[in-house]
Structure 1
Amino acid sequence: MWMDDVELVVSSLALKASIVLFYGSQCLNLDLLLKKAQREKITLFGISANM
């Protein structure tokens, strides 16, 4: 996790936002991630640039 990521998590929690963290390769589990985003009603979904 980069320092910017830590700031994002902390500021999101300060705003009482829900956070979903996924550790692993999104290339192998992209369908799983998209289903999770839909199920949890995630409004902002970001993945790494290597996707």
Structure 2
Amino acid sequence: MTKKNREEKAKSREARANHREEKAKSLEARANHREKQAKNREKQAKNREEN
């Protein structure tokens, strides 16, 4: 394996790792957002019941 191939493979591995990390962050952010929306819906429903 040439030095160039090794460097390209290393770059590719790093790119895949970064992509996985970004995807995980995105999934976590979406989950947090959904949780926040659910809490807000509960609050709104409670407020409607009180009024």
TM-score above 0.5: no
Q: Which has the larger radius of gyration?
A: 2
Normalising to structure 2: TM-score of the pair? 0.31
Normalising to structure 1: TM-score of the pair? 0.31
Q: Which has the higher contact order (CA 8 A, sep 6+)?
A: 1
* Higher share in helix: 2
